[in-house]
Amino acid sequence: MDIDALILAAGKGTRMPSPRPKVLQTLLGETMLALVTSTLHAMPRIKGIFTMVGCEAAMVSAEADAVASRLGRKAYCIEQKEQKGTGHALMTAMPHLEGEGRLLVINGDAPLITAEVLERFLDGAEGADVAFLSLELEDAASYGRVVRKEGSVQAIVEAKDFDPAIYGPKEDAHEVNTGIYLFSLPAVRKLLPKLGNSNKSGEYYITDLVSLGLEAGMDVRGIKAEGSGCDGNALLGVNNPVELAAAEELLQARRNAAILASGVVMHGLSGIRISPLATIEPGAEIYGPCEICGSSVIRSGARIRSHCVIRDAVINGGVEMREFCHIEGAEVRSGAIVGPYARLRPQSLVDEKAHVGNFVELKKTYLGKGSKANHFTYLGDTEVGPGVNFGAGTITCNYDGKNKFKTIVGADCFIGSNTSLVAPVTIGDGALIGAGSVIVDDVPAGKMALGRGRQVVKDRKS
Ligand code: UD1
Ligand code: CA
């Protein structure tokens, strides 16, 4: 049977001092919300993904929408206006959840969780009314403790409410709640009205559904996490900057190990940061430090030198990306050379064997096959045919303060150094522009244009 998922992401995260709510903190360039959502998206059993929003609801909803559209699905956000606890979040969600099916609930601050671990948990929770995933920890710190009697789960007791007189020494409690639950909806409907908030925090705890379920004679299971995907503290919540840094390192190590094993050559491994959403094909070569973010694709045979930042870009095979490039929302085709120090902005396309050199910026620009812009150049809203050479310091003047205009440069043109092309303007195939020109009118194919003051030579005054 299909399962819906609910991500709890309404809390403020008071232990994470930041103007952003906690679930919008990033690891390898991706928000915790994006990581959890894309993990759930990768699970065929999961049908709808609902997100509880509350603190900075508009910001979190906007990210939920952005993530969903990137994954090609719809976001469903439910607002929890006052954050009265994880149990209260579930109460707020229930009117939006129909039917007799099951609900996977996951804390939004568990960014390292994998689909594999969740799938194993769902298998173990098959048929249960209430199930949760637990983990053995040397130091259970501030996590909810799982209390068992002769192996059977009795309750989850929050650290604050843990009374050693009742439960025994705190140091002996090693099994913790990971904040991942599977509920049958009919069971939750029965139990939620009984949920109270008489505890140290005055909050409604989702974890109390465990003891309430047992009291009601339901099938309640605490399933211990084991096996792959449970490395380090991979199942734990990220509540403060220390935990965020540790989680990010763990994710980086896990990610790099998988990419290496798949057949990507990586130099300076510890400095290579690759988003979990990016695709790196076997046969690519990457030098650290560098960052490959978002849904970038680095194809087999591409070489990325150090200090590059690549976001949502496609780098094809045979591309040589030299040091210190910034690439965002652009594509570079086979055999092209980019950098050092190049900047490709969104909607730019560098075609096969083209060259983009140092201190060259392209915005919404197509650079044709084999064309070269090698030094100090800005091309914006420009279409360039094949075989064009731009001299150093070519600038397209694409903006008049109000509107943007296009520049079109035909095949095999030669644009002299320090030329301004004032858009809208078209340079016909094979035209030549003299160095230092300001070109305001179209130049027909095959012609030479000069737009500059004539040089005068005079005698020097003695
Ligand atoms: C929770 C669990 C604890 C478990 C730990 C695992 C409870 C009561 N305790 O504690 O047993 O060991 O997670 O990481 O659930 N949230 C809402 N609405 C609210 C409050 C919180 O949506 O009203 C969201 C938060 O944004 C967060 C998640 O729920 O993503 C968990 O809340 P948090 O305050 O971090 O719970 P913990 O104290 O870590
Ligand atoms: Ca937490």
User: Tell me, what CATH number does 390's domain have?
Assistant: 2.160.10.10
8 phi and psi, to 5 degrees? -85, 110
Overall average pLDDT of the 345-368 stretch: 98
pLDDT of residue 253: 95
306 lies in the same domain as 284: yes
pLDDT band at 229 (very low <50, low <70, confident <90, very high): confident
- Say if residue 394's pLDDT is above 80: yes
The share of the chain scoring above pLDDT 70, in percent, equals 100
* Tens digit of each residue's pLDDT (9 = 90 or more) over 13-66: 889 988 999 999 999 999 999 999 999 999 999 999 999 999 999 999 999 999
| Separation of CA 371 and ligand 1 centre (Å) | 55
Q: Which ligand has the nearest atom to the CA of 179?
A: 1
Q: Which atom of ligand 1 is nearest to the CA of 178?
A: 6
Residue type, 303: R
- Between CA 423 and CA 153 the distance in angstroms is 72
* Residue 170 banded pLDDT, cuts 50, 70, 90: confident
> pLDDT category, 262, cuts 50, 70, 90?
very high
- 214 in the same domain as 174: yes
Query: For the residues 402-420, what does the mean pLDDT come to?
Result: 98
- Position 228 scores a pLDDT of 80
Domain count, the chain: 2
In a domain, 257, yes or no: yes
Side chain identity, residue 125:
A
Active site residues: 375
Domain termination residue (choose one: 235, 257, 279): 235
Instruction: Please state, for a pLDDT cut of 90, what percent of the chain lies above it.
Output: 92
461 part of a folded domain:
no
Amino acid at 284: A
My answer on whether 251 and 230 are in the same domain is no
Say if residue 104 is in the same domain as residue 209: yes
Q: Give the pLDDT confidence score for residue 360 in this predicted structure.
A: 98
Nearest-ligand number for the alpha carbon of 108: 1
CA distances from 319 to 135, 262, 322 (A): 45, 20, 9
Q: What's the pTM value of the predicted model, to 2 decimals?
A: 0.90
Domain shared by 171 and 271, yes or no: no
Give the CA distances from residue 215 to residues 87, 190, 208, 219, 300, in Å, rounded to whole numbers and listed in that order: 17, 12, 11, 10, 58
Banded model confidence at residue 231, pLDDT cuts 50, 70, 90 = confident
Neighbours of ion ligand 2 (CB under 5 A): 109, 237, 239
The pLDDT tens digits of the residues spanning 65-85 come to 999 999 999 999 999 999 999
For residue 142, what pLDDT is reported?
87
Which pLDDT value is given to residue 287?
98
Distances 123 to 128, 131, 381, 390 between C-alpha atoms, Å: 10, 11, 53, 61
Question: Is residue 79 classed exposed, middle or buried when 0-12, 13-18 and 19+ CB atoms within 10 A define those classes?
Answer: middle
- Predicted confidence band of residue 171 (pLDDT cuts 50, 70, 90): confident
The pLDDT mean for the chain works out to 96
Relative to beta strand 152-157, strand 265-267 is: unpaired
| The pLDDT value given to residue 275 | 95
Domain holding 172: CATH number?
Answer: 3.90.550.10
Q: Do 302 and 386 fall within a single domain? A: yes
Task: Report, as an integer, the average pLDDT of 418-429.
Answer: 98
* Largest separation between any pair of C-alpha atoms in the chain: 110
Does 57 share its domain with 128?
A: yes
Whether residue 29 has its Cβ less than 6 Å from ligand 1: no
Q: How far apart are CA 199 and CA 205, in angstroms?
A: 9
Whether residues 205 and 296 fall in one domain: no
pLDDT of the residue at 172: 85
Per-residue pLDDT, 407: 98
Give the structural domain span for 24: 3-235
Choose one of 235, 255, 289: the last residue of a domain. Answer: 235
Residue 460 lies in a domain: no
Q: Does residue 230 register a pLDDT over 90?
A: no
Distance 188 CA to ligand 1 centre (A): 18
In a domain, residue 456? The reply is: no
Interacting residues of 336 by C-beta distance below 8 A, sequence separation 6+: 316, 318, 319, 320, 350, 351, 352, 353, 354, 355, 356
- For residue 143, pLDDT over 80 is answered with yes
Ligand 1 atom at minimal distance to the Cα of residue 11 = 26
Q: How far is the CA of 41 from the centre of ligand 2 (A)?
A: 22
Alpha-carbon distances, residue 28 vs 150, 228, 231, 385, 401 (angstroms): 42, 21, 18, 37, 37
What single-letter DSSP state applies at residue 380? E
Q: If pLDDT is split at 50, 70 and 90, which confidence band does 219 have?
A: very high
Q: Is the CB of 209 under 6 A from ligand 1?
A: no
φ/ψ bin of 259: left (φ > 0), alpha (ψ from -120 to 50), beta (otherwise): alpha
Same domain, 353 and 297: yes
The answer to whether residue 459 sits within a structural domain is no
Q: What is the pLDDT of residue 429?
A: 98
- The band of 427, judged by pLDDT with boundaries at 50, 70 and 90, is very high
* Nearest residue to 98 (alpha-carbon basis) of 48, 42, 40, 53: 48
Decide which of 235, 261, 282 is a domain's last residue: 235
For residue 12, the ligand 1 atom closest to its alpha carbon is 26
Ligand 2: distance of its center to the CA of 92 in Å?
19
Indicate the pLDDT class of residue 233, thresholds 50, 70 and 90: confident
Pick the residue whose CA is nearest to atom 30 on ligand 1. Answer: 108
pLDDT digits (tens, 9 = 90+) for 282-340: 999 999 999 999 999 999 999 999 999 999 999 999 999 999 999 999 999 999 999 99
Question: Within a domain: residue 436?
Answer: yes
Residue 454 covered by a domain: no
83 CB near ligand 1 (under 6 Å): yes
Confidence of residue 235 (pLDDT cuts 50, 70, 90): confident
pLDDT confidence of residue 226: 87
Residues 19 and 45 in one domain: yes
Are the C-beta atoms of residues 76 and 33 closer than 8 Å to each other?
no
**Is residue 221 located within the same domain as residue 180?**
yes
At residue 136, the pLDDT reads 92
Is the pLDDT confidence value at 198 over 80?
yes
- The verdict on 53 and 121 lying in the same domain is yes
**pLDDT for 234 beyond 90:** no
Residue 457 lies in a domain: no
